[in-house]
Structure 1
């Protein structure tokens, strides 16, 4: 039977372990009925292939694993052909909560409608109070509770202020206490046009985890304490449906194993939340950021998402210009405020 033949003797199998991370179509023997094989096809991302099994993650995100000897046909296939669809309806508060789910803090506690978040100090977003809604107590008492909560964890008391979204009284009070920090634009775009941008998609590899190569380019927690590094790994791998994109360094590159580009995307219902889109210095201005975004957008569209969202600091003019070209527009802004001591 062909399934028992060595892989190299199955002419319809045109994929191998080097295709891990690409979108493939694979046919396998799923069972024998009356001594005859029953074949099943699966289309999705080939996430692993070792001596035990291949695993393909289809659009429903339920991994399909099977032994190599059961593979009878396979090939790489183009990106998912996303169809144009309206941008999902969502206001500033909903988009901020989306971002919080897709970049989840390790510790979260409600304060009325607010959410207190802590993650050993790794990123402001995961270590600040998200001030949306009513805190359930007078503003001075709410701010005192925030201050005490973060003091108990040895962290600065930061408040994420959404404009529009957070109350005007809160915004005014925090402006009196000190300067606004890290002004950030929240930008959205329809996914389908993103999928049609760029080229060189075959260079991108998708994974469910951020491996050593991916992390070698993502330096946000480099040199930090073991506690912060662990928090970074947990935050990066948190969220509903997570994908990491990597463009490996060219063969023979003096840069070694450091990827040319990386990206991260979390799919949450109709939305895809993009982050960590980075290009190595040696590979900048080659369109790889666009390519990575397109591949991540295609995977998100395959899972049913139609809108993309990202956050970029207002002073990052290079990234803002890139996202302008990709069709992202600004929904709203947010910034942080550090509570002063009473």
Structure 2
């Protein structure tokens, strides 16, 4: 007897939904001539050769033959807990943590400002972080910064925070008067860590301490900068790198990076193969990294995202991140500018 004949209309998923979180009902056994049903909720990790696999949150893989599937639907990710908040923090605390979690191989002090260089790999690792006082008038400090970067063949940048309780609008105004132009506007966003660890899909993610060639193949920023880029990517208090295997050899389907720094977990480099987008992979990467950070004692999460990156901002909005403060870079006048 075909017990599924009248129920197959309730199967509302297809092989194209691999990577999504689903709820399925299947026939587990036949007792006394009647079917006994059982349910499973998890990520649809494969569907081929007449069978599908649903991977539960605890890592258990449930294999289901197609004829035994009687109902199935896509379900949303576990929602962010309402009322949860990120830890309170000053702009300075978060900027200092961000500098530790994205560390430049070369640094120097100008008063309490930090000059950072990484061979040109990202503005963040090749800019002065002006926390506190430089010990000089702003004009003289700006000249010192320009000389330091010029000696390394790099453009002179100063990272300036805005907004928050201790943003530095006064410095921005002073640099503006000196001809240092604004570019690279970004946001530092925070969220409570625990709800991120509750998101689905973590069982699909591989975590490691090392950057391998596959991870770098998916990461779009390295640009052949070699050792300088690797020093930044693998530097920090407690670095974890995530990847989701792709369908073929080579670059993973998705990657991410998290650095645990005391009570904070810094997230970044979350990237997905365009062919695998909308499959929940970015969420899975964040979930896996958040669980690891939670195990190491962190309670808050933050990330830095370009203000005009609407796609990334939409993802972080959905995962519960809110803007703590903004920042941008001031670039010193080029030699041709006088």
TM-score normalised by structure 2 residue count: 0.72
Structure 2 Cα separation of the partners of residues 110 and 324 of structure 1? 36
Q: Could you say which residue in structure 2 is the equivalent of 1:29?
A: none
Q: Is the 8 A contact 2:102 2:125 kept in 1?
A: yes
Q: Is the 8 A contact 1:195 1:297 kept in 2?
A: yes
Structure 2 Cα separation of the partners of residues 299 and 78 of structure 1? 14
Q: Which runs of 5+ in 1 are unaligned?
A: 1-75
Q: Is the 8 A contact 1:133 1:166 kept in 2?
A: no
Q: Could you say which residue in structure 2 is the equivalent of 1:116?
A: 115
Q: Could you say which residue in structure 2 is the equivalent of 1:134?
A: 133
Question: Structure 1 residue 282: deviation in Å?
Answer: 1.0
Structure 1 Cα separation of the partners of residues 167 and 322 of structure 2? 21
Q: Could you say which residue in structure 1 is the equivalent of 2:263?
A: 270
Structure 2 Cα separation of the partners of residues 308 and 221 of structure 1? 24
Q: Could you say which residue in structure 2 is the equivalent of 1:193?
A: 195
Q: Could you say which residue in structure 1 is the equivalent of 2:50?
A: none
Alignment of 1:216-235 (within 5 A): 216-222=217-223, 224=224, 228-235=225-232
Structure 2 Cα separation of the partners of residues 259 and 325 of structure 1? 23
Give the alignment partner of residue 320 of structure 2, picking from 295, 320, 327: 327
Q: Could you say which residue in structure 2 is the equivalent of 1:211?
A: 212
Q: Which has the larger radius of gyration?
A: 2
CA RMSD in angstroms comes to: 2.1
Q: Could you say which residue in structure 2 is the equivalent of 1:174?
A: 175
Q: Which runs of 5+ in 2 are unaligned?
A: 1-55, 60-80
Q: Could you say which residue in structure 1 is the equivalent of 2:297?
A: 304
Question: Structure 1 residue 196: deviation in Å?
Answer: 1.4
SS in 2 for 1:173: helix
Write the deviation string for residues 186-216 of structure 1: whole angstroms up to 9, x where unpaired.
000001111112x332210000011111111
Question: Structure 1 residue 257: deviation in Å?
Answer: 1.8
SS in 2 for 1:170: helix
Give the alignment partner of residue 234 of structure 2, picking from 234, 237, 244: 237
Question: Structure 1 residue 178: deviation in Å?
Answer: 4.6
Write the deviation string for residues 201-235 of structure 1: whole angstroms up to 9, x where unpaired.
2210000011111111012123x3xxx21100111
TM-score normalised by structure 1 residue count: 0.71
Query: For residues 166 and 150 of structure 1, do their structure 2 counterparts lie closer, same or farther at Cα, with a shift above 3 Å needed?
Result: farther
Q: Is the 8 A contact 2:260 2:293 kept in 1?
A: yes
Alignment of 1:63-142 (within 5 A): 78=58, 87-142=86-141
Matched, 1:281 2:274: yes
SS in 2 for 1:180: strand
Structure 1 Cα separation of the partners of residues 168 and 317 of structure 2? 29
Write the deviation string for residues 300-331 of structure 1: whole angstroms up to 9, x where unpaired.
00000000010000010000010000000000
